[in-house]
A and B are shown apart, each in its own frame.
Chain A
Amino acid sequence: MSGDKAQREFVSEVEDILERMRDDIARLAEGVGAGAAADPRIVNGLFRSAHSLKGLSGMFGFDAMSELAHHLEDVLDGLRMGRSTLDHDGLSLFDEAVTLISSLVGKLDDDRARSDAEESIATLMERVDAWVAGPTESDGSRESEVDLPAAVLRALTEYEEHRLHENVAAGRNVFLADSDFEILSFEEGLSELNEAIQALGEPISTLPSPGESPDSQIRFSILLATTLDRDSLAEQLDLPAEQLHLVFEGEAQPAALTDAAATEATASEVEPRNEQTPADPGPGSEPSESSLKSISDTVRVDIRKLDELMNLVGELVIQRASIRKIAETLATEPATARVGAELEKVHRSLERKLADLQASVLDVRMVPLRQVFDKISRVARRLRVDLGKEVRLDIRGADTELDKLIVEDLVDPLMHVVRNAFDHAIEDPGERESCGKPVEGRVRIEAFQRGNDVVIQVSDDGRGIDADKVLERALERGLVTEGQELSPREILDLVFHPGISTREAVSTTSGRGVGMDVVRSNIAALGGIVTIESEPGRYTTISMTLPITLAIMQALIVGVGSQRFAIPLNSVRETLLVDPQEIQSSDGRELLNLRGEPLLLRRLSREFDIEPSDAGKLSAVVLGIGDSRMGLLVERLEGQQDAVIKPIQGPVSRVRGVAGATELGEQGAVLVLDVSALVEDALRGREAA
């Protein structure tokens, strides 16, 4: 019968709790016998047991048992909060209570035994209450003089708060120790750390937070009290000193280890916890004041939180657009014209505030390029030694700021380009001398903002790119055909082709091109472009143009058939109304005469295989990537919108020509075009896949 099973489950849990209580009482008795103060951890354990017992028996209708547990809980609460002190009388009362409950649990189905026991419970409760009426101390002030981060302070239970105050009153130092663990195995590491802390003082609370990489890591902030100072604590715990934040400075002299716990600590073997200690500077690298300041003045923010904030701002922007529509409608009706005008005024001020809000949120995401550049300088230093070349690296514009997410993804391609310059572009000292160049080669990295873009240029004064050799390779590989006319720019562009940019093909002859296709696609994934300029024997400059942020952009909304698309406005040069008759065909390509220059056209409907409507006039959106231009024919221009661009998730991992999607209010998801892919395909004459 499952009913019996339920009861057995209940009884066995109660018995487990009682067993734990007996153990705790026995351990407390040893202490009381020896005249020492009761160990707060054991008292707290006993309290928790009584608390669980109260809840459990109350839940299943054993009111008398629950009542007794409640009285015990009150008494134990007084003890753990320091309102009373433990003596032999108290202990024997606890013992009797446990025995009584234990006998009651054994006779759950026996009504007579139950009512007998309930009577005994009543008398025992009176005695428990009488014992409590003993000496009482004031709990002292609850005001906090401890400089704790709000997140930690707010998650302390009343008991933990009490322990904190006890330790503060005793003049101990209170620290917050941060440590990151792998989620899969944090328990082991954390319990080792806790044991180590226990040997040095008292762990008060353990607050978990999402770690550096929240999917695999978890951070624990342990609030602890000790007589040790920061440096010795760091050494004993084998934690970098900057992970220890002093939140209260006690009066205890760190040198004199008078406290029992501390003495024990130096004597006992504190296990070194090498496995998860981050490899970092030794302890004591920083005075504690500055770390205290760092807790209070700055916060570390998960980038995902900023994304979420950005999403909210994006949603507000969409809502704002609806408000404007309402205002316009109201303003056109004579009866509501005044309200409409008012609403429009409010709307304008809302619009300004939203723009400020958006700018502030964006600003938080911005980080200077310095950190990337510093990393590159370090690698460059090593390269110089490894390659045996003399190269001077100049860095300019390290304060230029970019979205943190872009900066992270920029490291690899940028490193690649710099490495190429050192490795292949700059000649050996002997070779340089014989060409009459200074022995010391020069590589310059320069970053600057241009409109809504950031440009990063890597220039070297090395051997440059031999266009003839590149063309030769391209012909061999069948990438270009004999007699095909290519501008010098188009030839240099071939370096970005995967078939060309292999070490064997180009690097030894032209000094350029290893993995340049990868660099281009990495940069394109960030919505940027890479261009190359070079003069054989003199220089090569590689320019990467990136949007300042991916988080939000201005988009032009266009329509074809029943569908809509968003085009990032920073790659739209202009829009034109086109009469289909103006479109010229040559060689299967469509062209438009744009102020005397031929503009290559592509129809979005054909590109994406969309049923066109019978629109008479078409619009051409002139897209520009670097110096390349192309006209995209669409049926409708539907205005500009702020858009938060998101990656597309699902079984099909990449769709060429689509950079992502954005949510536009009630219209749901709208695809964002990948302009660099579209332009590239058009210029290469590649047909839609």
Chain B
Amino acid sequence: MSGPAGTHDGTAEGATRWDALARAAARREAVEAGEVQHEYLAFRLGDVPYAIAVDGVREIVRMRPVTPVPRVPPEVSGVISLRGEIVQVVDLRRRLGMPEVEPSRSTRIIVLHGDVGEVSGVQVDGVTEVLRVVESDLRPPPSGESEFVSSICEREGRFVSVMNMQKVLDLGGS
């Protein structure tokens, strides 16, 4: 227990409260240690991990029927209805030139805020976690990396590509 002895009545709940507070303090210490903290939503395509800035994410929804739309680039797989809102879905595999797979139970559509209030959906194979990353974990992408990757983040020995969603969603106008 990290709570100082004698400061509470020794009850289990008193202890968990101090614990929670201590964890919060530790977290803040890391941030105050001069590191800017970023939050990324980690997701995957196959087994390859990717991440995007959490700030752009509005919500994550399960896969649902996608209605095809004519006269759009092939990366747009169609539209879905989100509580009455109609939102285009970009298939990230197609966008990155990866082979297509059948949607599975873990397939998700990440709904992103647009620049002017419009939202877009991006279909991924699964979302995994929210990464809290400090500046020193980030490095520039190696040369030859896809144009959609803005930086590489190292997590427990693995490298996660941080995507620039603005570029991903730039389908060259209409």
Question: Apart from A650-B87, A668-B64, what are 5 other A-B pairs with CB-CB below 8 Å?
Answer: A650-B118, A652-B73, A653-B174, A661-B79, A661-B81
Question: Given the complex, which residues of A lie within 8 Å of B24, measured CB to CB?
Answer: 6
Report whether A215 and B117 are in contact in the complex, using a CB–CB cutoff of 8 Å.
Answer: yes
Report whether B71 and A656 are in contact in the complex, using a CB–CB cutoff of 8 Å.
Answer: yes
Report whether A655 and B84 are in contact in the complex, using a CB–CB cutoff of 8 Å.
Answer: no
Q: Which residue of B lies closest to A63 (CB)?
A: B9
A159 to B80, CA, bound (A): 49
Report whether A60 and B17 are in contact in the complex, using a CB–CB cutoff of 8 Å.
Answer: yes
Q: Which residue of A lies closest to B119 (CB)?
A: A649
Report whether A651 and B169 are in contact in the complex, using a CB–CB cutoff of 8 Å.
Answer: yes
With known contacts A9-B21, A649-B86, A669–B171 Cβ distance under 8 A? no
A5 to B21, CA, bound (A): 9
| Partner-A contacts on B (CB < 8 A) | 2-9, 11, 14, 17-18, 21-26, 29, 64-73, 76, 78-81, 83-90, 114, 117-121, 169-171, 173-174
Partner of B7, one of A7, A9, A646, A652: A7
Q: Can you name 15 A-B pairs with beta carbons within 8 Å? A: A60-B7, A61-B9, A114-B6, A563-B67, A563-B68, A608-B70, A646-B84, A649-B120, A650-B76, A650-B87, A653-B173, A653-B174, A654-B174, A655-B72, A668-B66
Query: What 0/1 pattern do residues 111 to 122 of A give for CB contact below 8 A with B?
Result: 100100000000
Report whether B71 and A689 are in contact in the complex, using a CB–CB cutoff of 8 Å.
Answer: yes
Give chain A interface residues in 541-583, CB to chain B under 8 Å.
Answer: 563
Question: Given the complex, which residues of B lie within 8 Å of A314, measured CB to CB?
Answer: 84
Question: Given the complex, which residues of B lie within 8 Å of A656, measured CB to CB?
Answer: 71
Report whether A669 and B80 are in contact in the complex, using a CB–CB cutoff of 8 Å.
Answer: yes
Partner of A651, one of B29, B65, B84, B120: B120
With known contacts A650-B88, A668-B81, A655–B171 Cβ distance under 8 A? no
Report whether A5 and B25 are in contact in the complex, using a CB–CB cutoff of 8 Å.
Answer: yes
Question: Given the complex, which residues of B lie within 8 Å of A3, measured CB to CB?
Answer: 2-4, 18, 22
A689 to B174, CA, bound (A): 11
Q: Report the minimum CB–CB distance from A95 to chain B (whole Å).
A: 26
* Contact-residue bracket for chain A: 35 or more
Report whether A651 and B81 are in contact in the complex, using a CB–CB cutoff of 8 Å.
Answer: no
Give chain A interface residues in 38-85, CB to chain B under 8 Å.
Answer: 59-63
Report whether A668 and B88 are in contact in the complex, using a CB–CB cutoff of 8 Å.
Answer: no
Query: What 0/1 pattern do residues 494 to 523 of A give for CB contact below 8 A with B?
Result: 000000000000000000000000000000
Partner of B86, one of A109, A315, A646: A646
Report whether A2 and B79 are in contact in the complex, using a CB–CB cutoff of 8 Å.
Answer: no
Report whether B67 and A608 are in contact in the complex, using a CB–CB cutoff of 8 Å.
Answer: no
Query: Cβ of A426 < 8 Å from any Cβ of B?
Result: no
Partner of A669, one of B6, B73, B79, B114: B79
Report whether B71 and A688 are in contact in the complex, using a CB–CB cutoff of 8 Å.
Answer: yes
Question: Given the complex, which residues of B lie within 8 Å of A644, measured CB to CB?
Answer: 84
A4 to B4, CA, bound (A): 7
Report whether B69 and A658 are in contact in the complex, using a CB–CB cutoff of 8 Å.
Answer: yes
Report whether A609 and B79 are in contact in the complex, using a CB–CB cutoff of 8 Å.
Answer: no
Query: What 0/1 pattern do residues 128 to 141 of A give for CB contact below 8 A with B?
Result: 00000000000000
| Partner-B contacts on A (CB < 8 A) | 1-7, 9-10, 59-63, 108-109, 111, 114, 215, 311, 314-315, 563, 607-610, 644, 646-658, 660-663, 667-671, 688-689
Question: Given the complex, which residues of A lie within 8 Å of B64, measured CB to CB?
Answer: 668
A314 to B72, CA, bound (A): 28
Report whether B70 and A658 are in contact in the complex, using a CB–CB cutoff of 8 Å.
Answer: yes
Question: Given the complex, which residues of B lie within 8 Å of A651, measured CB to CB?
Answer: 76, 88, 90, 120, 169-171
A215 to B117, CA, bound (A): 10
With known contacts A9-B25, A61-B11, A648–B174 Cβ distance under 8 A? no
Q: Report the minimum CB–CB distance from B106 to chain A (whole Å).
A: 20
A108 to B18, CA, bound (A): 14
A152 to B17, CA, bound (A): 36
Report whether B84 and A311 are in contact in the complex, using a CB–CB cutoff of 8 Å.
Answer: yes
With known contacts A2-B2, A652-B174, A655-B70, A60–B8 Cβ distance under 8 A? yes
A538 to B57, CA, bound (A): 59
A608 to B72, CA, bound (A): 10
Question: Given the complex, which residues of B lie within 8 Å of A2, measured CB to CB?
Answer: 2, 22-23, 25-26, 29
A688 to B71, CA, bound (A): 8
Question: Given the complex, which residues of B lie within 8 Å of A649, measured CB to CB?
Answer: 85-88, 114, 118-120
A3 to B7, CA, bound (A): 12
A175 to B87, CA, bound (A): 45
Q: Which residue of A lies closest to B70 (CB)?
A: A608
A652 to B95, CA, bound (A): 14
Report whether A668 and B4 are in contact in the complex, using a CB–CB cutoff of 8 Å.
Answer: no
Q: Which residue of A lies closest to B8 (CB)?
A: A61
Question: Given the complex, which residues of A lie within 8 Å of B4, measured CB to CB?
Answer: 3-4, 7, 108-109
Question: Given the complex, which residues of B lie within 8 Å of A670, measured CB to CB?
Answer: 67
Partner of A648, one of B9, B21, B86: B86
